[in-house]
Amino acid sequence: MTTSWTIFRKELADAVRDRRTWMIALFISLLSGPAVFLLVSNFVSGVEEKVAKREVVIEHAEYAPTLVNFLQRAGATIVPAPQGYRDQLRSGTLGNAVLVPPVDFEQKLERGEQVAVEAIFDDSHDKAQAVVRASIRLLAGFNRELGTQRLFARGVSPLVLAPLEVREVSLAPSQARGAQLLFIVPWAALMVAVFGALSVAIDVTAGERERGSLEPLLANPLSTGAQVLGKWGVVMAYSVVIVVLTMAGFMVSMRLVTSETLSALMQLQWREVAIFVALLLPFAALMAAINMLAATFGRTYKEAQTYVSYIAMGVQFSAVVPVFLTVRDAPWQWFVPAIAQLTVLMRALRGDPVGTSDLVIPGAVCAAAAVICLALQARLLKRETIVFARS
Amino acid sequence: MIEVTHLAKSFIGRRGRAKTLVKAVTDVSFTALDGRITALLGPNGAGKTTTLRVLATLMRADQGTATVGGFDVTADPVAVRTELGVLSDARGLYTRLTARENINYYADLRRVPGGECASRLAMLAELLEMRDLLDRRTDGFSSGERMKVALARALIHDPRHLILDEPTNGLDVMSTRALRRLLRHLRDQGKCLLFSTHIMQEVEQLCDEIVIVAQGRTVAHGTAAELCAAAGTDNLEDAFVQLALEARARESGAAQPVEGHA
């Protein structure tokens, strides 16, 4: 233990003096996580504003005064379609549908014929989707109002057309919709745990080999296990700092969010932060161990970067899996690192209850895997092919 | 005392895609006594570094035995490492730490008490003329400065045995002199010193015993005068060349007579 502590102190002093390592850590934790957060919230509030404004874009509004009258009564503002609106729709600068009534709109309406009104939009722009839907809903409202009037005029109850009354009772908690969009927040937090201390993990392993300090170090009467433990401690300490900084960044960003809907949709209070930290720390412990193990095979810093990038790719891939799973919260998910963390984090953000086992099982799996990685690394350091390989 | 008996070590090498067995050491035997400076003299690729790595317990021998201070390198590696100070081929220092921090790190790892460490460091800094270096970060140190720090680091726990792999490589005259002075000082304290080199001048100036290694084998062992007498030459360089060439001829099975002079 004394040996591990000595190595920990030395590696910490060494890492703290490496300005590049700090720059990367600060960049990842303070910038990327909250930056993603702010982008998402900006996106949501942008959509909200547009939907709230209830703008309806019409080409040749003068052809359809009845429709315009309805829309104005419904609280919508009529905006004439700009020149070249098709290009604007495609490029996303016009994030709405453009309604195009035909020149004989009123005449057909009067004769009781069906009138075709084109709604032109490009819904490949995510931001436009909600606004387009709102415009089309207004048209449906016009349909309903006029249809009902006509049925009344013929002495028929409008209920004839609606034999079924659909009452929607959503069981999703109030935050659920937000969490779908905010998958990105736990994902970013997870990536911070993967990448945050990567440079330290490589420096204490492949870096030691590259600068030729591994051979003299191993000539000391120390167990390789104690060495690995001390070095892992430093990588872990770095991860802890970065995870905490990232969560602080999230909390600060949350305060800056202007969108009330978003604040109401996404739960990120002290309870959620505690769940994030409880899930991310064991995961960071595993990432530290597995990255160190992979980097041990590298003879140079650069070579080690290649090896750890395989791991980073694997984690990034598996982190996306829960999004596409049709079965939510299947038991096996609790036993797969990255997937387990993401699943539980998303539950927390959705406002679903998170129990002790949701934290303990993923944590225990990570801890066990970390111990295995560290033990393997301690054995590797006894191999001549690792210490002296073609050096 | 360091004793090596019939040591052999080979590696798996690669020639293109094919794996080949590279015999680094085939049969090395010698004894390095306490209070003596013993040189392992040999051309490049003779197996000197491999022999020292086996002694430092960083590699396992395929055959033969080696003991340091009576401890077997295979059976009791931790005791051997405790006995030894090693200036390895790789001098790797931590460039973000100062020279003093580099040395103190090893003192802490070897649990040298603080007071003892400080007085030893002061003594070593005096002998190696490196007092001005102590509180500078080692980034940008010259090879001589790096060697001094690495040597102080290897000696901070006051080991009874010291092995040095080509210690004078890349050193200027002043640094070489400081090194010689330190090694003589250690010898006079009764320590066992073993170092590898291919520099004749170094051996003549410093060594009490010379072990000539060539083609992975010990080909001769004795004082400079004894080696010259055995080879029938009047200087060590000629003796070395003759003995090393004889070994090469024996190894390749050539029947040609070996020239007596270089």
Q: Please check the confidence at residue B34 and state whether its pLDDT lies above 90.
A: yes
**Most B CBs within 10 Å, among A21, A205, A213, to test the B interface:** A213
Best CA proximity match to A151, nearest among A142, A141, A161: A161
Q: Which residue has the higher pLDDT, B10 or B254?
A: B10
ipTM over the 0.95 cut-off: no
pLDDT in tens, B151-194: 999 999 999 999 999 888 878 888 888 889 999 999 999 999 99
**Most A CBs within 10 Å, among B94, B95, B139, to test the A interface:** B94
Whether residue A64 lies inside any domain: the answer is yes
Nearest to B92 among A10, A216, A222 (CB): A216
Whether residue A167 lies inside any domain: the answer is no
Residue A12: how many other CB atoms lie within 10 Å: 16
**Most B CBs within 10 Å, among A215, A301, A390, to test the B interface:** A215
Q: What is the percent of chain B with per-residue pLDDT over 70, rounded to a whole number?
A: 95
Residues A155 and A190 in one domain: no
How confident is the model at residue A357, as a pLDDT?
87
**Domain boundary residue among A161, A185, A220?**
A161
The answer, for B149 touching chain A at a CB cutoff of 8 Å, is no
The answer, for A103 touching chain B at a CB cutoff of 8 Å, is no
Best CA proximity match to B92, nearest among B154, B175, B48: B154
The alpha carbon of residue B10 is apart from the nearest alpha carbon of chain A, in Å, by: 12
Q: Please check the confidence at residue B46 and state whether its pLDDT lies above 50.
A: yes
Q: Name the pairing type of β-strands B192-197 and B18-32.
A: unpaired
SS3 A387: helix
Nearest to A13 among B91, B97, B150 (CB): B97
Residue A180: how many other CB atoms lie within 10 Å: 14
Q: Secondary structure of chain B in the HEC alphabet? A: CEEEEEEEEEEEEEECCEEEEEEEEEEEEEEECCCCEEEEECCCCCCHHHHHHHHCCCCCCCEEEEEECCEECCCCHHHHHHHEEEECCCCCCCCCCEHHHHHHHHHHHCCCCHHHHHHHHHHHHHHCCCHHHCCCECCCCCHHHHHHHHHHHHHCCCCCEEEEECCCCCCCHHHHHHHHHHHHHHHHCCCEEEEEECCHHHHHHHCCEEEEEECCEEEEEECHHHHHHHHCCCCHHHHHHHHHHHHHHHHHCCCCCCCCCC
Residues A155 and A205 in one domain: no
Best CA proximity match to B213, nearest among B26, B52, B55, B48: B48
Whether residue A310 lies inside any domain: the answer is yes
**Domain boundary residue among A119, A138, A161?**
A161
The alpha carbon of residue B180 is apart from the nearest alpha carbon of chain A, in Å, by: 22
Best CA proximity match to A201, nearest among A108, A282, A260, A284: A284
In this prediction, residue B139 has a pLDDT band, given cuts at 50, 70 and 90, of very high
Whether residue A48 lies inside any domain: the answer is no
DSSP A314-358: HHHHHHHHHHH-SSTT-GGGGGSTTHHHHHHHHHHHHT----HHH
**Domain boundary residue among A137, A161, A185?**
A161
Q: Name the pairing type of β-strands B2-15 and B84-87.
A: unpaired
The alpha carbon of residue B28 is apart from the nearest alpha carbon of chain A, in Å, by: 20
CA angle A383, B23, B25 (to 5 degrees): 85
How confident is the model at residue B255, as a pLDDT?
40
Residues A236 and A379 in one domain: yes
Q: Helices A184-195 and A33-53 sit at what angle, rounded to 10 degrees?
A: 170
Residues A235 and A343 in one domain: yes
Q: Which domain holds residue A150?
A: 54-161
Which residues from chain A sit within 8 angstroms of residue B108, using beta carbons?
6, 10
Whether residue A169 lies inside any domain: the answer is no
Residues A137 and A218 in one domain: no
Whether residue A166 lies inside any domain: the answer is no
The answer, for B100 touching chain A at a CB cutoff of 8 Å, is no
In the DSSP assignment, the letter for residue A82 is: P
- Whether A37 and A262 have beta carbons less than 8 Å apart is answered as no
pLDDT digit string (tens) for chain A, length 391 residues? 788 999 999 999 998 898 887 887 777 777 766 677 677 777 766 666 666 778 889 998 899 998 888 888 888 888 898 888 888 888 888 888 899 999 998 998 888 888 888 889 887 877 677 788 888 888 888 888 888 888 888 888 877 777 777 776 655 554 445 555 567 778 888 888 888 888 899 999 999 999 899 999 999 999 999 999 999 999 999 888 888 888 888 777 777 765 666 666 666 778 888 888 899 999 999 999 999 999 999 888 899 999 999 998 888 888 777 767 666 667 888 888 888 888 888 888 777 788 888 899 999 999 999 999 999 999 999 988 888 875 4
Residues A211 and A358 in one domain: yes
In this prediction, residue B261 has a pLDDT band, given cuts at 50, 70 and 90, of very low
Rounded Cα–Cα distance for residues A283 and A345 (Å): 12
Residues A196 and A306 in one domain: yes
Residues A19 and A82 in one domain: no
Residues A285 and A137 in one domain: no
How confident is the model at residue A258, as a pLDDT?
59
Residues A16 and A149 in one domain: no
How confident is the model at residue A184, as a pLDDT?
73
- Whether B68 and B27 have beta carbons less than 8 Å apart is answered as no
Length of chain B as a residue count? 262
The answer, for B48 touching chain A at a CB cutoff of 8 Å, is no
Contacts of B52 (CB under 8 A, 6+ apart): B40, B86, B88, B89, B163, B165, B194, B196
How confident is the model at residue B95, as a pLDDT?
93
Tokens of A216: 């003299």
HSE value, Cβ hemisphere, 13 Å, CA-based, for A209 = 24
Separation in Å, CA A377 to CA A16, A282, A297: 24, 19, 9
Q: Please check the confidence at residue B240 and state whether its pLDDT lies above 80.
A: yes
CB contact under 8 A, A215 and B153: no
The alpha carbon of residue A13 is apart from the nearest alpha carbon of chain B, in Å, by: 8
Rounded Cα–Cα distance for residues A342 and A338 (Å): 6
Number of domains in chain A: 2
The answer, for A213 touching chain B at a CB cutoff of 8 Å, is yes
Tokens of A325: 């799973």
Q: Please check the confidence at residue B74 and state whether its pLDDT lies above 90.
A: yes
For the sheet with A118-120, list strands across it.
A77-80, A55-58, A98-100, A118-120
Best CA proximity match to A235, nearest among A146, A308, A342, A140: A308
Q: Please check the confidence at residue B243 and state whether its pLDDT lies above 80.
A: yes
The answer, for A216 touching chain B at a CB cutoff of 8 Å, is yes
- Topology (CATH level 3) of domain B2-252: Rossmann fold (3.40.50)
Contacts of B206 (CB under 8 A, 6+ apart): B37, B39, B180, B183, B184
| B59, burial (CB in 10 Å: exposed 0-12, middle 13-18, buried 19+) | buried
Whether residue A89 lies inside any domain: the answer is yes
Residues A266 and A382 in one domain: yes
Residues A217 and A337 in one domain: yes
Whether residue A119 lies inside any domain: the answer is yes
Dihedral Cα A225, A230, A233, A238, nearest 10 deg? -130
The alpha carbon of residue B67 is apart from the nearest alpha carbon of chain A, in Å, by: 15
Q: Please give the distance of CA B17 from its chain centroid, rounded to a whole number.
A: 34
The answer, for A221 touching chain B at a CB cutoff of 8 Å, is yes
Which chain B residue lies closest to A1 (C-alpha atoms)? B109
